[in-house]
């Protein structure tokens, strides 16, 4: 499991930047969903990362 810490991370995974278009709630959803997805799909496979990013952005836009 990655060991990154600080803002923009969740369970050790760095989240894609939310930009200025998302509300704080949607940015939090993005961070949590991306970190949880990466936890379930570990490794540095670009396909897994892209999949998790798509899922996280879809959920964040629903929350916004």
Structural domain includes residue 50: yes
Q: Tokens representing 34?
A: 């991306």
- CA pair distance 30, 14, nearest whole angstrom: 11
- The answer to the question of residue 1 being in a domain is no
**pLDDT recorded at residue 22:** 86
Q: Tell me whether residue 24 is in a domain.
A: yes
| CA 64 to chain CA centroid, nearest Å | 15
DSSP 40: H
Number of domains comprising the chain: 1
Phi, psi torsion values for 45, nearest 5 degrees: -65, 125
pTM: 0.83
Q: Is 54 within the bounds of a domain?
A: yes
Residue 32 lies in a domain: yes
The pLDDT assigned to 1 comes to 53
Average pLDDT for residues 14-38, to the nearest whole number?
88
Q: Are 8 and 15 in contact (CB under 8 A)?
A: yes
Range of the domain at 25: 9-63
Task: Provide, rounded to the nearest whole percent, the portion of the chain with pLDDT above 90.
Answer: 55
Q: Measure the CA–CA gap between 44 and 27, rounded to whole angstroms.
A: 23
pLDDT score of 33: 94
At residue 9, the pLDDT reads 84
pLDDT reported for residue 57: 93
- Answer whether residue 4 is part of any domain: no
DSSP bridge pairs for 9: 14
19 belongs to a structural domain: yes
């Amino acid at each position: 499991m990655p060991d990154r810490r600080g803002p923009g991370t969740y369970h050790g995974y760095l989240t894609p930047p939310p930009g200025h278009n998302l509300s704080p709630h949607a940015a939090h959803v993005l961070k949590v969903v991306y970190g949880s997805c990466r936890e379930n799909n570990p490794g540095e496979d670009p396909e897994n990362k892209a999949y998790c990013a798509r899922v996280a952005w879809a959920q964040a836009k629903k929350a916004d």
